[in-house]
């Protein structure tokens, strides 16, 4: 049986979603490449905004800490 990702578990989910909304409201630049992000694009468009973990959860990164989340595309 596959393990549920840490950011999908109930304890972290609400905090992750809250931080995700904050980032999507307050930032508009990709923190990986530095280019502006068109917030009107929706998934599955390859340039749609996504929230990325700076340190992957699999490498010990915190699943919902806002300091471990960044806006990307």
pLDDT (tens digit per residue) in 32-60: 999 999 999 999 999 999 999 999 999 99
Give the residue extent of every domain in the chain: 29-73
| 1-37 per-position pLDDT tens digit | 556 555 565 678 999 999 999 999 999 999 999 999 9
Cα gap 73→62, rounded to integer Å: 21
Characterise 52 by phi-psi region: left (phi > 0), alpha (psi -120 to 50), beta (else).
beta
Cα 67 to Cα 1, 3, 28, 54, 62, distances in angstroms: 31, 24, 16, 8, 9
């Amino acid at each position: 049986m596959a393990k549920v990702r840490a950011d999908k578990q109930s304890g972290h989910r609400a905090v992750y979603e809250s931080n995700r909304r904050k980032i999507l409201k307050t930032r508009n630049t990709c923190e990986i490449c530095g280019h502006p992000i068109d917030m009107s694009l929706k998934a599955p468009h390859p340039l749609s905004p996504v929230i990325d973990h700076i340190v992957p959860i699999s490498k010990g990164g915190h699943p919902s800490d806002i300091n471990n989340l960044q806006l990307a595309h």
